[in-house]
Amino acid sequence: MLRYIARRVLVAIPLLLIVGFCVFILLDLAPGDAASRVAGENATPEEIIQVRERLGLNDNVIVRYGEWLGNAVQGDLGRSLTTPQDVTDAIWSRLPITGSLALIAITITLVVAIPLGVLAALRPNSLLDRGVSAIAALSMALPPFVIGLILVLLFAVKWAWLPATGYIPFTESPSEWLKHLILPALALAAIPTAELARQLRGSLVDALGNDYVRTARAKGMKERTVVFKHALKNAAIPVITVFGLQVGRLLAGSVTIEFIFVLPGFGRLAYDAVVSRDVPMIQGVVIVSAIIVITVNLLVDISYGFLNPRLRQR
Amino acid sequence: MRNRGRAAIALLVSLSFIAAACGDDDDDSSAGTEAGATTPAATDAPAATDAPADSVATTDGGTATTEGATADTGATTPDDGSVPAGTEVDCDLPYEDGDPDANVDFITSVPPRQFDPHISTSIIGEYAYIAAVYDRLIEQRKGPVLCPMIAESWEFNDDGTELTLHLDPDAVFWDGSPIDAEAVKANLTRAQTLETSTVKSFLNMVTAINVVDPQTVTLVANRPAADLPSTLSTLVGSMINPKAFTDGTDLATTPAGSGAYEIQDWVVNDNVTFVRKDDYWRPESAGKAKTLHYVGIPDDLNKLNAFRSGEADISFFKAASYGDFSDYAESTEGVSIAQYPQGATYQIFLNTDRPGLDNQQVRQALNYAIDRDAINEELLYGQCPPTSQMLQGIYPGHLPELDDYYNYDPEKAQQLLDEAGFSDGFSFEIGAGAGLTPQALFGPVIQAQLAPLGIDVTVTEGDLLDINSRWAAGELDAYAQTRLGAADAGVVLRDNYTKGSRFPGTPPQEVTDAINATLDPTVTGDDRTALLEAANTLITEQALDLFICGTSATFIHTDDVLNADIMGQADYQGIFDMRYVTMSGS
């Protein structure tokens, strides 16, 4: 297993290099100019040229990538062009907020999707099953920002139960922390919950049709044991694969959700960096998000071994 | 294969950040371009006042005379030349005291990015935050009027090329060291010479800064510079403790200030909380509220949602959102709209160096071909009165008869085109910041209204920064934007029609001369008003812009908020100056 993990980590290195390079190329091709932002709104064209020169933005994209890479491998992701922050500090200050949001969204996903998926699988084609399928389809059809706006209008504006915007750190007030994150987490969790419930329902229906389930039932095993100990464990592998993919989706979804709910998280940092052409910050955000996705995928792969002993022996 | 697929997904998810975030730059660095509606102020008129008595001053020619200096500040006449002789300049607006322990929650469009005034990328957009921690040499108050702050008085020499500032001897930085002439010199020198300074161009007329004595400093200019006092009332005139220039303080994150508030808590690019400094050097002008909490929310719908759910006491909003905000205010008890008189204008800037647009008759034809009333009613809820002039009603030099100088007259427009040799029309391109409302809405409307004359308009929407840069570099024919106000009418004309970043074409020499004449501080009172009227009229006659309508700042607030209708600078730039705003405590 350790060799497997080491191999995966080594494979991730060229991937990160490619990601970083692609970002440089894309930013180079995209319209807009970081120098304009840094020079200020009253800058003359000459001043913008001077700023561009000072920031090294006239250098070849390969040269700039090389310089960035040289610093990045030493742990220095650079300094923001538009705010007085080191990129690493900015990311570290924002990750706990998005992490909190993702944590609650994942909790909601698991708490809602697993029972619904199991219940629907136990009574296939029943009213419950069809109801779950319909709600899941609706959830997947609605973009998170639409769900978010509906939640705000109902729970924050109409009934004033929860705040519409902002963030309070957990250390300051756990209850306020939860109150500020519950609506964005619900919006963010809608699609993963729907996909996970449908995936679990499908996998479990398949698993429950297998011979070993029939044998277990014939041996007089309790239905709870059959479902939760045998069928669910075997149905879990594709579910975990889907779940792992949802983490990446949560990260991408946080851009819009954090914008709507005015959360100063990792997604907002990404948005702000892009609109202000803050190249070092964009690079840092992309690399960190790539590392997160790669790490989650690795954890998912490792979890297969725990769920299926045969994989452990390979 | 599975791993390769995952690798691809990781790559795509990472890159999706770029794509997802490549939206409109609605936030932009110039919140002042979002000024809103234009009906007369509808807020409660402040009743009680705690203002210090008798700081009413009068101007009389180039030399200040004071009828009644304040007992507290020793204020003398703010003679910036913008006020007609004999006109009273009332620096004592009727500010109410309210609850001294109040916290006020604000929503504005521009989040707090940094606190160094000399590297501010938008001295308008960042004014709300930086002005809280740094006093300026001169203070802008509603009017607009220029009032004493660190400089208790100022005057020009006979030819208007030297501005002498007399500093308040009580003025001190937070650490107790004096804000003296050496400190002023150090600050202005830094603004002019710092490699990363973004404000150099504002002081490019200053050739020398001479310390006369600890309380007197003289700025020598290479031309008559009536615009200098106005400049020194912006963030350019912020006074930083010079010790911070040499001790390694990162001023972008750690203000070394002189202002009425200090930072209590700050999340970069999101929100900031200020707490009042109880040992502030001007106790009579200290902050009214104990704490001020600003949140930067670019999107107006999010602003309204936050306000409706009780997370803010006052919020700025754009003209294009007037309907939503006013509906809510009208249907909700205890909520009001504060509207200032219009001080800025929405216009289609024209590059007068481009073929076709370099012809005065063609530019006039464009102005006659536009139905401004329809634009105002259909796009701006009737809150943006049509105008054909730059200087709006709050400024000397405004002429009411110029508002309808270019009444909608397609036949006259065609006649002018015929005379100019453009009977078959011509084509030009209007640039606009994508998603920037209402400016981005103007392009398609202008396109439709000019089409019957054979004028083919191409509307190019793009990233605001990119469009702005292209405009400043002279690469665009036209640009849908806001022409902003300033504390002084001459500065309004100078900034909008002589600076390349706002007017990349070559202005007619007579316009340049007329504007420069308004910047002579030795000409004051009625004489200066006449010069401003002449320059303003020339700009209209020359049709240097495709004029649309006059706009002003608009805010929504709860009725507990006091002094929201007399915020300095808010009246023409849509930016909060919250020092005197507080809560009633009721």
Query: B82 pLDDT exceeds 60?
Result: no
Give me the pLDDT at residue B415, please. 96
Locate B416 and state its tokens: 């002018």
**For the stretch A123-151, what's the b/e string if a residue is b when 16 or more beta carbons lie within 10 angstroms of its beta carbon?**
eeeeeebeebbeebeebeebebbebbbeb
d(CA B74, CA B55): 8
Contact assessment for residue B290 and residue B101, using Cβ atoms and an 8 Å cutoff: yes
| pLDDT one-digit tens code per residue, B313-342 | 999 998 888 999 999 999 999 999 988 888
Q: How far is CA B92 from the centre of its chain?
A: 22
Q: Is the peptide bond before B438 cis (omega within 30 degrees of 0)?
A: yes
High-pLDDT (> 70) share of chain B, %: 84
Query: B231 pLDDT exceeds 90?
Result: yes
Give me the pLDDT at residue A241, please. 84
Contact assessment for residue B172 and residue B161, using Cβ atoms and an 8 Å cutoff: no
Contact assessment for residue B155 and residue B81, using Cβ atoms and an 8 Å cutoff: no
- A23 touches B at CB < 8 Å: yes
Contact pairs from chain A to chain B, CB under 8 Å: 204
Locate B481 and state its tokens: 């934007």
Give me the pLDDT at residue A311, please. 64
Of B311, B268, B275, B280, the closest CA to residue B172 belongs to: B280
Give me the pLDDT at residue B581, please. 92
- B9 touches A at CB < 8 Å: yes
pLDDT along chain A (314 residues), means of 10: 80 87 85 80 82 88 89 90 93 94 94 94 92 92 93 92 93 95 96 93 92 90 88 85 84 90 94 87 92 88 74 59
| pLDDT one-digit tens code per residue, B110-155 | 889 999 999 998 888 889 899 999 999 999 888 888 999 999 999 9
- Give B566's pLDDT tier (boundaries 50, 70, 90): confident
Give me the pLDDT at residue B386, please. 96
| pLDDT one-digit tens code per residue, B358-411 | 999 999 999 999 999 999 998 898 989 999 999 999 999 999 999 999 999 999
- A188 touches B at CB < 8 Å: no
Q: Check residue B403 and report its DSSP letter.
A: T
d(CA B577, CA B557): 15
Contact A286 B472 (CB under 8 A): no
Interface of B with A in 437-466 (CB under 8 A): 462-463, 465-466
Give the pairing type, strands B427-433 and B456-462.
parallel
The Cα of A126 is separated from the nearest Cα of chain B by a number of Å equal to: 35
- Give B548's pLDDT tier (boundaries 50, 70, 90): very high
Query: B75 pLDDT exceeds 80?
Result: no
Of B209, B183, B548, B517, the closest CA to residue B386 belongs to: B548
**CA nearest to B268 within chain A:** A83
Contact assessment for residue B160 and residue B226, using Cβ atoms and an 8 Å cutoff: yes
Most confident of B17-21, B215-219, B246-250, B421-425: B215-219
Mean pLDDT of the B79-102 span: 65
User: Which residues of chain B have a CB within 8 Å of the CB of A41?
Assistant: 29-30, 121-122, 124-125, 468, 501
Query: B76 pLDDT exceeds 70?
Result: no
The residues near B434 (Cβ < 8 Å, ≥ 6 apart) are: B24, B25, B440, B461, B462, B463, B464
Most confident of B33-47, B58-72, B272-286: B272-286
Give me the pLDDT at residue B148, please. 94
- Give B177's pLDDT tier (boundaries 50, 70, 90): very high
**CA nearest to B11 within chain A:** A19
Q: Quote helix, strand, coil % in chain B, to nearest 5.
A: 30, 20, 45
Contact A252 B295 (CB under 8 A): no
